Amino acid sequence: MDSDEFVEAVRKENETALSRLGSSKSLYAATGGEMEPDEVFRAAADSEHAAAETFSEWADLETDKDASELFSDIVEIETEHYETVSGKVDDHDPGEIPALHDYLRGLDDTRERLGGFVGRTLASEKSKTQLTGFFTGQADPQSAQVFRDLKGDLDEQLEDALELLAERCESEDDWEQAKEAASGAITAAYDEYTESLESMGVNPKPVC
What SS3 string covers 75-102? HHHHHHHHHHHHCCCCCCCCCCCCHHHH
Type of residue found at 58 = W
CB 67 within 8 A of CB 164: yes
> How far is it, in rounded angstroms, from Cα 129 to Cα 135?
10
Cα gap 31→76, rounded to integer Å: 26
In angstroms, the first-to-last Cα distance of the chain is 36
pLDDT at 91: 84
**Per-residue model confidence as pLDDT tens digits over 34-91:** 999 999 999 999 999 999 999 999 999 999 999 999 999 999 999 999 999 999 988 8
pLDDT at 206: 63
pLDDT at 204: 81
Q: Which CATH class is domain 36-199?
A: mainly alpha
How distant, in Å, are the alpha carbons of 18, 57, 161, 193 from that of 190? 8, 23, 22, 5
Q: Give 107's contacts (C-beta < 8 A, 6+ positions apart).
A: 113, 116, 181
Instruction: Parse the chain into domains and list their residue ranges.
Output: 36-199
Return the pLDDT at 208.
39
Low-confidence ranges of the chain (pLDDT < 70): 206-208
What is the model's pLDDT at position 96? 87
Q: Dihedral, CA atoms, 194, 135, 83, 127, nearest 10 degrees?
A: 30
* Residue 197 · residue 203 · CB < 8 Å: yes
